[in-house]
A and B are shown apart, each in its own frame.
Chain A
Amino acid sequence: MLKRWILDFAYFLDTSKSYQKSKRFFYNILENDKYKYKKYLDLFMILLIFISVGVLIREVKYHVNDYLMYFSNYVISFIFFIEYILRWWVSSSMSKIIVARAEHDTFLHRDVQLSKAFLKILRIKLSYMFTVKALIDLFAILPFFHELRLLRIFILFRIFKLFRYAKSFQILSSVLATKKFEFLTLGLFATVVIFISSVLIYVMEGNNPNSPVSTLYEAVYWSIVTISTVGYGDIVPVSQEGRFVAILVITAGIAVLAFTTSLFVSAFTEKLDEIREVKTIEDVSKLKKFYLICGYEQVAREVARKLSASGNTIIVLDENLQRIEKAKKDGHTALNYNPGSVMSYEKLNIDMDKQVKSILCLRENDIENVYTALTIRSFNKNICILSLLISDSNRKKLDFAGINSIVYPQELVGLITKELVGKPVAFEVIHELRSENSDVQIDELGITQRIVDNFATVGELGNKDFRIVLLGIYKYKKDRFFFNPLDSMILEVGDYLLVIGYGIFILEFEKYLHTKVRDE
């Protein structure tokens, strides 16, 4: 009966959407670094840690406010306790283990052996509880029993909890973890040296009434102080034999110190690129809007320069390290990722639809551009993709890959020459309008509700007062461009005015459109 009840309950939990949803929420907020609200909880926890430590320090010599003591001892401990239980809960799924066991046994036509499932649960949960992080969490709760004075020192374990919340600490420990074997060897070497030198100094000086080394503990203390090259000087060998031991320990100490330093340096040097990459990805995921450029060759370089000059953020992906270095030198955020791999975009941890303005496939190679476009289309159908086309015979392939805009430089050359031989002055004028360095520009001004409230028709705009030519209006609802519109044309929200004029006057005109209050 109980077994049936437990099984039903496990199945219920395993299939309950609300239970899974809440568990996922707690998992995200406690463990998932990519979850955007996690940082707020981390900051809150860090604040609690500093309050606890502050109270501990203050309490040494002064009286601490009773409420603050209560908060530090009980409230904070209780919050940490809740956190510990939640982490324990989300570390693994008990219901899943029971359900898996039930399915397994049912499949083999056997009675469901819940005991095995419980054993597995016990093993998994215990292995979690004995991880360093979980132990620190547990010790951090102990100051709850503050009446036991010794337990108060466990407040310091709360400091260790900072490792959980500060990402740089995690990076530091992961870097050092890569040199686990070397550190272990170093530790063993240092232990052996300390052990031998402690025994030697104790043997040499233990019976000497003039020597400060009278116990083995003092000998160990002297060894550690000497090998670490700190050398306080409170305990010094007085006999010739003792001094000889000191020479050996000092020599070994230099080796230990040099070895430790080189270990740290090499660990960080090896991991430096990875650390930078993690930081870059973190920065990218925080960006609001940016252009993603896949492939950084000549055209891409120039496009990136132009777009960033007009205030846009550029992210460059390229599998070629040299090109990535060039992009970084040009001041862009660049990642040495293959744009043709879905993994690259997964690693980026971005919301394509919300964060990316457009993806530009600018490799000067149609095969690479098609491959990249197809990769992106395999997981996102909506994002706008623009691509270079190098050979016209590949145009259909680019279309088929789902590219929205295609730019074909060869065709451009033909069209430009056609205009150049036909209307050179007119061409120059239009070319000037498009050029980024020109004083006279063509610009698009969006019509907002505020503008419509103040300017009902084209005639009311008064663009001539700002020395601006109104080339036309793009009517959003009709998806049509009206050249040189009549004064009576009604303005609607979503329309765009296409204006030509000096950049500074266009800015003034735009400001005027947004600030003017209709005359009554």
Chain B
Amino acid sequence: MSKTTALIFGYNKYALEIMANVKDKYDVIKIFSLKEEEELFNAAVEVESFDLGDEWTEIDENVDIKTSIAFCILEDTAENIFLTISLRANFNDLRIIALASNKESANKLKMAGANKVIPLVETTSDIIANILEKPISSKVLHSILYEESALKIAQIKILNKSQFKDEDIMNIDWTRYNGILVLAVMHEDMKSEFIYSSRAKRHVIREGDILVVVGYEEDIKEFEKKIGSERYVNWSHWSW
């Protein structure tokens, strides 16, 4: 089995933060910088030098692109966009997450082929506005998403053996099922729908649908067992 790799392009404060947060999920983490090798000699972690004109042959030969992820976090927006577009041009299956300073560069990065863009200013301001305007929900969502709280959010895939398969979504009281809450369902067209949306209401559950649930760890496990499904992460199911 090939090793999963996280490729971080750009050696800055965000690189270290990303590295710390993804190291449990990837076997190999490689950081690349546009700086010359001599300049990177004193870096706190191992950093390789790269050039925007690279042919990417080394990555192509040594990294399993399908199981890898790239983070484009160069500080210069134009360079970051150029990097994203050249990665996408060379590796069609590579999952690319890019950091953008604002909405304008976020749009360009999406056009350049990034799977996901984190617009830093918008995200920070969203968090601030939520802390001020909806302090309780902000606290709860933050703890569900980011903190080691007992409450978890999980994605559960409906398998062939699932008891809900082929059932009308309307017939199940999703919201209060065994101590967990089902927030959304994502079906074959890759769009997630709020559980009470008009589209979701008419939906018949099929094999491969993904449920987004919130609950305590034990309850989620129980739920998985009961409905004959499992937690699932697959980036190919992720679309805009």
Contact = CB atoms under 8 A, between A and B. Distances in A.
Contact of A413 (B120, B128, B194): B120
B137 interface: yes
A415 B173 CA distance: 32
Given A418-B22, A443-B137, A412 B127 contact: yes
Interface string B153-182: 111000000000000000001011001110
Contacts of A424: 116, 233, 235, 238
A417 interface: yes
Q: How large is the interface on B (under 10, 10 to 19, 20 to 34, 35 or more residues)?
A: 35 or more
A388 B175 CA distance: 37
Contact of A422 (B25, B126, B130): B25
Contacts of A483: 151, 181, 214-216
A484 B219 CA distance: 12
A470 B17 CA distance: 34
B141 interface: yes
A423 B153 contact: yes
16 contacts: A303-B129, A307-B133, A409-B124, A414-B14, A415-B145, A419-B145, A425-B192, A425-B210, A426-B154, A426-B155, A429-B153, A430-B144, A434-B126, A442-B134, A501-B194, A502-B196
Contacts of B111: none
A407 B142 CA distance: 12
Interface string B99-137: 101100000000000001010111111111111111111
Contact of A427 (B99, B125, B145, B183): B145
Given A422-B25, A422-B233, A443-B134, A429 B118 contact: no
B67 to A, nearest CB: 12
A306 B196 contact: no
A440 interface: yes
A430 B146 CA distance: 11
A435 interface: yes
A202 interface: no
Contact of B146 (A298, A360, A419): A419
B74 interface: no
B9 interface: no
B101 A417 contact: no
Nearest to B131: A405
A462 to B, nearest CB: 12
Interface of A: 291, 298-299, 302-303, 305-307, 310, 312, 357-358, 360, 362, 386, 388, 391, 405, 407, 409-430, 432-436, 440, 442-444, 464, 467-472, 474, 481, 483-484, 496, 498, 500-502
A424 B215 CA distance: 17
B125 A303 contact: yes
Contacts of A409: 120, 123-124
Contacts of B127: 407, 412
A499 to B, nearest CB: 9
Interface in B195-240: 195-197, 210, 212, 214-216, 233, 235, 237-238
B141 A433 contact: yes
B14 A429 contact: no
Contacts of B69: 421
B132 A468 contact: no
B153 A484 contact: no
A423 B118 CA distance: 15
A272 B176 CA distance: 63
B145 to A, nearest CB: 6
Nearest to B216: A483
Contact of B125 (A302, A405, A422, A467): A302
Contacts of B235: 424
Nearest to B12: A410
Given A413-B99, A422-B25, A469-B196, A464 B175 contact: yes
Contacts of A417: 18, 21-22, 71, 97, 118
Contacts of A412: 123-124, 127
Given A421-B22, A483-B216, A484-B179, A434 B130 contact: yes
B20 interface: yes
B125 A299 contact: yes
Nearest to B4: A421
B45 interface: no
A407 B84 CA distance: 28
Contacts of B133: 307, 310, 312
Nearest to B232: A425
Contacts of B120: 409, 413
Contacts of A501: 194, 196
A388 to B, nearest CB: 7
A238 B97 CA distance: 94
Nearest to B196: A467
Instruction: Enumerate the 8 nearest inter-chain pairs by beta-carbon distance, A residue then B residue, closest first.
Output: A302-B125, A414-B17, A467-B196, A418-B21, A306-B129, A414-B21, A415-B146, A440-B194
Contact of B123 (A414, A416, A436): A416
Interface in B5-22: 6, 13-14, 17-18, 20-22
Given A423-B154, A469-B196, A360 B144 contact: no
A468 B195 CA distance: 9
Nearest to B133: A310
Contacts of B131: 386, 405, 407
B47 interface: no
Interface in B40-90: 69, 71
Given A307-B132, A413-B17, A426-B212, 18 more contacts: A291-B132, A388-B124, A405-B131, A411-B17, A413-B14, A413-B123, A414-B18, A417-B22, A417-B97, A420-B116, A424-B238, A425-B212, A434-B141, A442-B141, A468-B196, A469-B195, A483-B215, A483-B216
B153 A426 contact: yes
B200 to A, nearest CB: 10
B28 interface: no
B69 to A, nearest CB: 6
B136 A498 contact: yes
A303 B128 contact: yes
B25 A425 contact: no
